[in-house]
């Protein structure tokens, strides 16, 4: 007699490696594969619990002594554009948005290489070749779009964006470094907020926010920002004394973290 059981995702932990955000620390990630008929449901569910997507993998930080990396999203209903952000939108109003299926192009790769060489020459993606770039764009089992921004028919910025059941998730973006004085990174977020409003989606997911990390400071300038902390989304404005201090006793064991996850069609164990 054959018995069919639901297939639960398997979770794994990476080996510690140098943290890209805080000097002198080690990072570790909890991750699972994203595939099969339930991939979209799994991505929707785990994105609400602080996970991010990279190709066909979902991951979130699970460091032994540090809990500084917190997933961030904008509550679109509570976003109020600031005067400086209005100036950014005005500076970039000559850019034309185009939404495409997730296919990589030579034009995208050329812009990607210029972006890396100018801003992240020593980063983890510095040696990415055209085939690896194509995999980053195209290997997705869920609803993903490539958002291109053009100026006079020249490609100026690209954002790889996932469409979730409750929002837009900005997976990765890059742009022409010559547009840095326009605060183009801020503009891409502003335009995604606009798209979320047009699609009646409540959130824009921005990846991770790390207090005391200069690379992440710009995210805190958006009103309506929430962070995923202690298994709940909390408005950043309501979080007192957030810092990147080490918390060696506050990180739950991996088995407990996995047991507390809500998966599609089920509840966390123990609930």
User: What's the domain range around 145?
Assistant: 73-238
Residue 268 lies in a domain: no
Report pLDDT digits (tens) over 78-113. 999 999 999 999 999 999 999 999 999 999 999 999
**Whether residues 149 and 184 fall in one domain:** yes
Q: Give pLDDT, residue 118.
A: 85
Q: Give pLDDT, residue 126.
A: 67
Report pLDDT digits (tens) over 183-240. 999 999 999 999 999 999 999 999 999 887 777 778 889 999 999 988 899 998 876 6
**What's the mean pLDDT in 44-68?**
93
HEC profile of the chain: CCCCCCCCCCEEECCCEECCCCCCCEECEEEEECCCCCHHHHHHHHHCCCCEEECCEEEEECCCCCCCCEEEEEEHHHCCCCHHHHHHHHHCCCCEEEEECCCCCHHHHHHHHHHHHHHCCCCCCCCCCHHHHHHHHHCCCCCEEEEEEEECCEEEEEEEEEEECCEEEEEEEEECHHHHHHCHHHHHHHHHHHHHHHCCCCEEEEEEECCCCHHHHHHHHCCCEEEEECCEEEEHHHCCCCCCCCCCCCCCCHHHHHHCCCCCCCCCCCC
**Whether residues 213 and 111 fall in one domain:** yes
**Whether residues 207 and 132 fall in one domain:** yes
What pTM, to 2 d.p., does this model score?
0.91
**Whether residues 120 and 56 fall in one domain:** no
**Whether residues 98 and 224 fall in one domain:** yes
**Whether residues 118 and 163 fall in one domain:** yes
**Domain tally, the chain:** 2
Q: Which residue has the higher pLDDT, 243 or 187?
A: 187
Residue 264 lies in a domain: no
* 142 and 39 Cβ atoms separated by less than 8 Å: yes
**Whether residues 196 and 110 fall in one domain:** yes
pLDDT band at 163 (very low <50, low <70, confident <90, very high): very high
pLDDT band at 248 (very low <50, low <70, confident <90, very high): low
Residue 267 lies in a domain: no
**Whether residues 153 and 86 fall in one domain:** yes
Please report, for the domain that includes residue 213, its CATH number: 3.40.630.30
**Whether residues 93 and 139 fall in one domain:** yes
Per cent of the chain over pLDDT 70 is 90
| pLDDT at 2 exceeding the cut of 50 | no
**Whether residues 127 and 56 fall in one domain:** no
**Whether residues 114 and 156 fall in one domain:** yes
| pLDDT at 70 exceeding the cut of 60 | yes
Residue 271 lies in a domain: no
List, in order, residues 6 or more apart from 227 with CB less than 8 Å away.
70, 71, 72, 209, 233, 234, 236, 239, 242
Q: Give pLDDT, residue 245.
A: 78
Q: Give pLDDT, residue 1.
A: 41
Residue 250 lies in a domain: yes
- Phi first, then psi, for residue 124 (nearest 5°) are -70, -20
Q: Give pLDDT, residue 140.
A: 95
* 264 and 42 Cβ atoms separated by less than 8 Å: yes
Residue 49 lies in a domain: yes
Residue 4 lies in a domain: no
Residue 2 lies in a domain: no
pLDDT band at 124 (very low <50, low <70, confident <90, very high): low
**Whether residues 155 and 251 fall in one domain:** no
């Amino acid at each position: 007699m054959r018995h069919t059981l639901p297939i639960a995702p398997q979770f794994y932990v990476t080996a510690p490696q140098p943290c890209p955000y805080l000097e002198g620390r080690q990072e570790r990630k909890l991750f699972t594969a994203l595939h099969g008929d339930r991939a979209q449901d799994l991505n929707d569910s785990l994105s609400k619990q602080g996970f991010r997507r990279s190709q066909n993998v979902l991951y979130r930080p699970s460091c032994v002594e540090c809990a500084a990396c917190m997933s961030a999203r904008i509550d679109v209903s509570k976003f109020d554009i600031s005067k400086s952000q209005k100036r950014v939108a005005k500076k970039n109003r000559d850019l034309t948005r185009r939404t495409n299926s997730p296919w990589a192009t030579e034009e995208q790769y050329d812009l990607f290489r210029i972006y890396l060489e100018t801003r992240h020459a020593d980063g983890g993606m510095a040696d990415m070749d055209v085939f690896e770039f194509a995999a980053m764009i195209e290997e997705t089992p869920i609803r993903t779009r490539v958002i291109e921004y053009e100026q006079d028919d020249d490609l100026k910025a690209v954002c790889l964006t996932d469409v979730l059941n409750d929002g837009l998730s900005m997976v990765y973006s890059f742009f022409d470094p010559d547009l840095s004085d326009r605060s183009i990174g801020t503009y891409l977020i502003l335009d995604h907020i606009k798209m979320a409003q047009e699609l009646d989606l409540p959130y824009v997911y921005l990846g991770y926010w790390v207090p005391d990390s200069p690379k992440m400071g710009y995210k805190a300038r958006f009103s309506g920002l929430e962070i995923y902390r202690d298994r709940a989304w909390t408005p950043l404005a309501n979080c007192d004394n957030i810092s990147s201090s080490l918390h060696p006793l506050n990180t739950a064991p991996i088995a407990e973290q996995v047991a507390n996850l809500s998966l599609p069609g089920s509840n966390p164990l123990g609930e």
